[in-house]
Amino acid sequence: MDTQELMYAGLAKQAHLVATGEVSSLELTEAVLARINRLNPELNAFRTVLADAALAEAARLDDVPAGERGPLHGVPVAIKDEIDVEGAVTTFGGLANRTPATADAEVVRKLRVAGAVIVGKTTMPEFGQWPFTESAAYGATRNPWDTTRTPGGSSGGSAAAVASGMVAAALGGDGGGSIRIPSACCGLFGLKPQRGRVSTAPHRDLWLTLGTSGPLTRGVADSALFYDAIRGTVDVDRWHAEEPRMTFAEAAATPPGKLRIGYSATPAVRGLRPEAQHVAALADTAAALRELGHDVREIHPRYPDATAMFTPQYYGGVRDEAKLVERPDLLERRTKQTLALAKLMPERAIQWSVANTDRFAAKVNRIFDDVDLLLTPTIAHRPRRIGALDGANTLTAQLRALPMIAYTALWNVAGNPAAAVPAGFGADGLPLSVQLVGRPHDEVSILRVAAQLETARPWAHHRPSLG
């Protein structure tokens, strides 16, 4: 297998190649680092590359006996820069932190137990506030399919790294769509798991009820393999999901049978009109699911307005993360504006929104009285050109963000699992995407149907022209 094929082989295939001895972990890590060195100057996907530590870890892993190896043994992965990696600064996308983390976050610890090699930390907008990966500190991250366009955000560095074949998988976070949005922009599969599926330790939560961590990958089986390595919580976690009825890897390999799937182009944010190409991709995917034997019907959901639930927790989440930095005077101008508005948000409003989460989720989940899965567009508009945040104050930036979160943020409030699934390419050459939303705790059904779609329309074979 040549280097190009190796880089795009995917997480599961790379793990298999290491397990069978066709490539060593050290050889694979060296190839990954060489590709990062070549492509990152243009794409700006990595905030920092941990080359020496990764090479040392890969060499150590090659000496581990076969019987003691984990499912991700020897495979390089990347970590979004809001998640602690021992020895690296957790910047949250800015300059206000200076001291390296003294321990891995729980999710990173689990990745190491599974045998993964941590090669670096990926770029993000400060505190993950925006669906565009642009920051005053580290500049703009670029979409591998068109470097004049955003890769989305806030896990845009993770998305660009995976889409360009720098790594087979990268850990992201999703507080309003930040796994699904960049997956949609970059042609990836990105599943936001059920709230409480993945530990947020050492922190009690991530943006209160809104946030969770998870991988961005090129294929469904890769995502499932990654999730089986990281899912589960510890005592410090505020939220704990129900155990799935099968492993995620089993789900990705199991036909779903006939399901009732409702589709709708109606955004949860009022007043937005989705791009015609996105509506066409939705209809095309609905037709494909019908051909696969599912009961597919158009529905007209009446989404409750999530503004009163999402907005207080957005401000509360940014406020809480800002407390973790050493030099708040070095925060971006826009972030300081966000924090000024956060001070105006009554604490009782934040606590009210958290306390009423279950009631709100029950109202949203009436959709699933008649269907097993919901199919929507992932984003409303095409990926914007680089510079989406130029000249914008925090309120202007929030308005520019609305088309990106119009279909995603509702499910952060409700807590349901939801995934961005590739759906071809638009007239501009950029990927199209649809969103599959499941009942609470039911990632299994999403994975089964997404894997079925992937077999029918093998999107992972498509690659950006940059390499």
DSSP 193: P
Identity at 49, one-letter amino acid code: V
DSSP 49: E
Sign of CA dihedral 163, 402, 447, 230: positive
Catalytic residue chosen out of the listed positions 155, 158, 164, 178: 178
In which residue are the tokens 């101008």 written? 333
Q: Is 336 a catalytic residue?
A: no
CA–CA distance, 467 with 4 (Å, rounded to integer): 8
Strands (DSSP E) contained in 242-329 are: 260-263, 295-298
Cβ atoms of 312 and 206 closer than 8 Å: no
Catalytic residue chosen out of the listed positions 80, 110, 121, 192: 80
**Residue 183, preceding peptide bond in cis (omega within 30° of 0):** no
Catalytic residue chosen out of the listed positions 13, 25, 121, 154: 154
Region label for 127, one of left (φ > 0), alpha (ψ between -120 and 50) or beta (otherwise): left
With the CA atoms of 74, 78, 82 and 87 taken in that order, what torsion angle do they form, in degrees rounded to the nearest 10?
50
Q: What angle do CA 25, 7, 455 make, to 5 degrees?
A: 115
Q: Is 135 a catalytic residue?
A: no
CA–CA distance, 301 with 320 (Å, rounded to integer): 34
Q: Is 178 a catalytic residue?
A: yes
Point out the residues that are catalytic: 80, 154, 178
